[in-house]
Structure 1
Amino acid sequence: MQIYGKTGFALLSAAVLFLFAAVPQTVSAQNLQNVVITQISATEWTAVDQSMTVAFRPCEDNDQMLCGYLKTATPEAAKRFGLTQSPEKLRGMRIIEGLRHEGDSRFQGGRFVNMPSENARSARVSMAHTPGSGLEVTAARWIFSRSMNFTANK
């Protein structure tokens, strides 16, 4: 028994082709990671409290991870991180390394570097990027954590 005639088969085939054409192309995880890294590294980020400006760039030793570089800092912000140099001498210093992309717009596994404070160096750093909104950088050590919000410089 034939369920579809030639016309029915042609219509069914056309419908299947239309459905396949309507399905959006999926982005591979690697492409998504590259897009997110590009979005974040395309600008500098200023803390909501205006205490510092940072830039996140692909790390020199692994371009699939992000590193954070201090661009500007108020004397209070430098002191909060235990940095004794003048803010002018801190410009361009790498302060975060090893942020791994964990999916969507989240990064984890980072750590502070070039910090005299053992508490800062032993903290784990994570970051969440909300496109069009900003960055939230969180440093956690044991049960304590502190977050800092950043907005993109226009």
Structure 2
Amino acid sequence: MLASAFESYRQAIKSRHLSLVWHGYGSAIFLEIGELSTQQRRDGSDGNPKGEYTVMIEWSWRIESEAAILAGSWTDEQNWDEIFEPLVGRRIEDVVLFARLPELSITLEKGRYFTSFMTAEGQPAWTIFRNSRDDGKVSSISVVAGHVVEAFE
């Protein structure tokens, strides 16, 4: 595991606010963290705003309270927005890795948690992107061959 890279992202994300939660294709969710910037798609139409950091969980995720699972990747998509909406604006208290193959858990204030947990063969399916404002470049961390690795675009 590239502990220093994860720790760098962890420290940068802690104490920022969850600015937007949106869903992509299938059950993929995106958590936009920090100040949002507008984005345009290749066709010129408006895209989803992007935060200073973006957490992508491709599938097999859940949102927890202290005592229950509130929703997950198998929850009816029609209910996702009403579940995501009350989480926006909450401060991120911590981001941790757990399990032998590193899964991600994000603790929000007021006892809410986003957790990844891959249930199919392969690797945990999460990525944290550091979205640069100055040069347009992005770096990211994700799991490859059971280890957290950092990539640069």
Task: Please report the TM-score for the alignment, with normalisation by the length of structure 1.
Answer: 0.29
Higher relative contact order (CA 8 A, sep 6+): 2
Larger radius of gyration between Structure 1 and Structure 2: 1
Structure (1/2) with the larger helix percentage: 1
TM-score, scaled relative to structure 2: 0.30
